[in-house]
Chain A
């Protein structure tokens, strides 16, 4: 009787061996940390968290550049974080002497926020730069850290208060 099913027994054995080999290979090859927190490689979390940062954060800037902070406090740009304009500067905080931030082009920079656009909130200060300055660089008249300009009307309004 066995003779007549011998071929099936051989087939079953081949499949059983293949299964065992698969299980062994799997145990050897699966990353160790897989399944630590869920169905993924647990080590991936630490790997992603270890990425170096590019933006230092405004608190890092304010520690050294106190005079700028004092200036900003007098105007509307106190709410604007340093790196919003100056770009990512973590490298600068690590090595302030050798890595210095690039000079900014106010013609492009300021327009991003202040170019008139009907989708911007109505109360937000915006101008049509072509009419407002005729293409002249913004920092010709405005000091970026304290952008407000003291006009006689404004001073009068201040006095009234």
Chain B
């Protein structure tokens, strides 16, 4: 495969090492962290307005977290050896330590919180369903049928504590991904102490926007009434987070332009040519400035509920696209220029190959399918389940 090169590149640099699948990976883990932070708004910070999305946010986080290792496995030269990261993790490697952060977050935080929150429903379902589903629910109860008030209160307190631990864990989860890039001194596009912070905030933005969109979509599919107060609150948090995220990215940009170090001229040329569409048009204009403007508009001007819903939907979609573009610009952009600062290469993305576009599309659809299955198995909505008695404040179902 001939790869067009402009200028000079070290001979081994011409072919890109990390493909679109590695763009997908921080995008997916970002959605996880962001969705979890939204859920924690209700649980820890007692923001009652966003309660309708609490369980949905948790299930969304789980769906994406389960898919997250797949792009990595498909990218590895030897996926069958990936367990080596758990056998002999190299403590100086951010990638190795991330394997444990991921495991911690999945097992000790997300699964535990979901289990504790849903345990009452699981026990009830294990008694009222038949066949394979009954068996599944019985396994999930771990053999205990106790849903007395006392046990549920204990669950609630433990769940609160786990969410409390979960917030820094979510930051650690995605901050670590940022550090994986930010700690590579060989690459000036990546190497920055700001990188983990930028990743965390953009993760929160994408996660909040995704849960908001899924809430809107699922409510529409279920032909229910949208809780506009909930949406307004989520949009507000989205706006605040976005402003912080945008400020951080602008700070990075201004700093680079001002200091204009050895790498700057090369990077600047790259942004003006190869990354113009994905960075300036998609990420900055369409994916950041426009959503902020739309969300800001909804805060300042009095609009009808219908208009606001439309604005939120548009802003949400643009946000998710913009954050994907940000991941693209970091990962792919970081490999388009030569470390000699004298040349540029091209990313040749395949389509139906192991690391091609089709694979990426399938991997993005997969969490939605898993979410659909989880929603059927563990409904986040009380009215979907006739057995569900009036929800206690702890359980966050509307």
Q: Which residues of A approach B to under 8 Å, CB–CB?
A: 3-8, 10-11, 14-15, 22, 26, 29-30, 34, 39
Q: Assess whether A30 is in contact with B87, with CB atoms less than 8 Å apart.
A: yes
B150 at the interface (CB under 8 A from A): yes
Q: Assess whether A7 is in contact with B87, with CB atoms less than 8 Å apart.
A: no
Closest CB in chain B relative to A119 CB, distance in Å: 14
Q: Assess whether A5 is in contact with B154, with CB atoms less than 8 Å apart.
A: yes
Closest B-chain residue to A13, C-beta based? B142
Q: A8-B154, A8-B158 are in contact. Are A3 and B146 (CB under 8 A)?
A: yes
B119 at the interface (CB under 8 A from A): yes
Q: Kindly identify, within residues 122 to 172 of chain B, every residue whose CB is under 8 Å from any CB belonging to chain A.
A: 141-144, 146, 148, 150-151, 154, 158
Residue among A4, A14, A15, A26 making CB contact with B87, cutoff 8 Å = A26
Q: A7-B119, A7-B151, A8-B154 are in contact. Are A39 and B90 (CB under 8 A)?
A: yes
Q: Assess whether B88 is in contact with A6, with CB atoms less than 8 Å apart.
A: no
Q: Which residues of B approach A to under 8 Å, CB–CB?
A: 86-88, 90-91, 107, 112, 115, 119, 141-144, 146, 148, 150-151, 154, 158
Taking A6-B146, A7-B119, A7-B151 as known contacts, 19 extra A-B pairs with beta carbons closer than 8 A to each other, sorted by chain A number, are: A3-B148, A4-B146, A4-B148, A4-B150, A4-B154, A6-B144, A7-B141, A7-B144, A7-B146, A8-B154, A11-B115, A11-B142, A15-B107, A26-B86, A26-B87, A29-B87, A30-B87, A39-B88, A39-B90
- Give the chain B neighbours of A26 by CB distance below 8 A: 86-87
* Complex Cα gap A8–B143 (Å): 11
Closest B-chain residue to A18, C-beta based? B107
- Give the chain A neighbours of B90 by CB distance below 8 A: 39
Closest CB in chain A relative to B133 CB, distance in Å: 20
- Give the chain B neighbours of A22 by CB distance below 8 A: 86
User: Can you list the 3 inter-chain pairs with the closest CB atoms, starting with the nearest?
Assistant: A7-B144, A4-B151, A10-B142
- Give the chain B neighbours of A30 by CB distance below 8 A: 87-88
* Complex Cα gap A29–B112 (Å): 29
Q: Assess whether A14 is in contact with B142, with CB atoms less than 8 Å apart.
A: yes
Q: Assess whether B88 is in contact with A34, with CB atoms less than 8 Å apart.
A: yes
- Give the chain A neighbours of B146 by CB distance below 8 A: 3-4, 6-7
* Complex Cα gap A15–B86 (Å): 16
Closest CB in chain B relative to A44 CB, distance in Å: 13
Q: Which of B88, B146, B148, B150 has most A Cβ within 10 Å? A: B88
Closest CB in chain A relative to B97 CB, distance in Å: 13
* Complex Cα gap A145–B98 (Å): 60
Q: Assess whether A10 is in contact with B144, with CB atoms less than 8 Å apart.
A: yes
Q: Which of B107, B141, B144 has most A Cβ within 10 Å? A: B144
Closest CB in chain B relative to A121 CB, distance in Å: 22
- Give the chain A neighbours of B107 by CB distance below 8 A: 15
Closest CB in chain B relative to A110 CB, distance in Å: 25
* Complex Cα gap A103–B212 (Å): 74
* Complex Cα gap A57–B90 (Å): 38
* Complex Cα gap A22–B107 (Å): 14
Closest CB in chain A relative to B141 CB, distance in Å: 8
- Give the chain A neighbours of B158 by CB distance below 8 A: 8
Closest CB in chain B relative to A20 CB, distance in Å: 15
Closest CB in chain A relative to B83 CB, distance in Å: 8
- Give the chain A neighbours of B144 by CB distance below 8 A: 6-7, 10
Closest CB in chain A relative to B147 CB, distance in Å: 9
* Complex Cα gap A8–B112 (Å): 10
Closest CB in chain A relative to B73 CB, distance in Å: 19
Closest B-chain residue to A7, C-beta based? B144
Residue among B86, B88, B142 making CB contact with A7, cutoff 8 Å = B142
Pull 18 A–B residue pairs with CB atoms less than 8 Å apart, ordered by A: A3-B151, A4-B150, A4-B151, A4-B154, A6-B144, A7-B119, A7-B141, A7-B142, A7-B146, A10-B143, A11-B112, A11-B142, A26-B86, A26-B87, A29-B87, A30-B87, A39-B88, A39-B91
Closest CB in chain B relative to A38 CB, distance in Å: 10
* Complex Cα gap A153–B28 (Å): 78
- Give the chain A neighbours of B119 by CB distance below 8 A: 7
- Give the chain B neighbours of A6 by CB distance below 8 A: 144, 146
* Complex Cα gap A30–B81 (Å): 12
Q: Which of A4, A5, A7, A34 has most B Cβ within 10 Å? A: A7
Closest CB in chain A relative to B139 CB, distance in Å: 11
